[in-house]
Amino acid sequence: MIKARHQLFVYSFFKIYTLAKMKTNFNSVKVNGTVDVADHSVLLIANHIGWWDGFWALYLSMKVFRKKYHFMMLEKELRKRWLFSLSGGFSIAQGTKSVIESLNYSAELLKDKNNLVLMFPQGKLHSMHDDNFRFQKGVERILAKTQNTKVVFMASIIDYFEHPKPDVHFYIKEYNIENQSFTDIESAYRKFYKNSVEQQKQIVL
């Protein structure tokens, strides 16, 4: 597998690039919800809707969580975009024995309270209008090997309204992992996402 590195110049570039792109491409950026993760590492579980997802999570990592950013990426894609491995990206090769190594590596990263690890448990892109989430297995293995980690759900939703540029809304919520199973997490995320969409529907200009 390809492990994450944080080469100072590359990592700094992506952080500056992310802040600039957020400012120029969106009418507004709004975070809905609060979590206290100061003394905990973060496993961030998010919906996977497009090109922006990784940059959105990096933005929240800087602005909200204030953690060192790591993200899991398909190995074939990471090899094409090798610079990402110098800014926190590490690989997973689905259907191979190295999957276990990648999951164990994720758990190892989460032993450091200063780290955040982003996962898209769906495993591939889906429309943000699809709320029938089906997670790939792996989350439960990571959590079984961590003790000081908080699981945070994230939902990204955009609306244009009267603006040429969209408003992006991030919904975040801590998930209590005690005595929970893999299917519990999947159904809890599905409920969280539906609730986020309902909140979004209540926005009135």
What is the block-wise mean pLDDT of the chain (205 residues), using blocks of 10 residues? 96 97 97 96 92 95 97 92 95 88 95 95 69 75 88 95 95 85 82 94 80
pTM of the model: 0.92
In contact, 161 and 122? CB cutoff 8 Å:
no
What pLDDT score does 53 carry? Answer: 93
In contact, 181 and 138? CB cutoff 8 Å:
no
What pLDDT score does 41 carry? Answer: 97
Beta carbons within 10 angstroms of residue 131's beta carbon:
17
What pLDDT score does 130 carry? Answer: 67
Residues 58, 67: Cα–Cα separation, whole Å: 9
What pLDDT score does 165 carry? Answer: 96
Sign of CA dihedral 23, 90, 174, 148: negative
3-state percent breakdown (helix, strand, coil) of the chain, nearest 5: 40, 25, 35
The CA distances from residue 116 to 46, 61, 88, 132, 159, in Å, are 13, 7, 10, 26, 27
**Residues in Cβ contact with 52 at an 8 Å cutoff, skipping those fewer than 6 apart:** 156, 168
What pLDDT score does 134 carry? Answer: 73
What pLDDT score does 172 carry? Answer: 98
The tens digit of pLDDT for each residue in 35-70 reads: 999 999 999 999 988 899 999 999 999 999 999 999
What pLDDT score does 155 carry? Answer: 95
What pLDDT score does 186 carry? Answer: 86
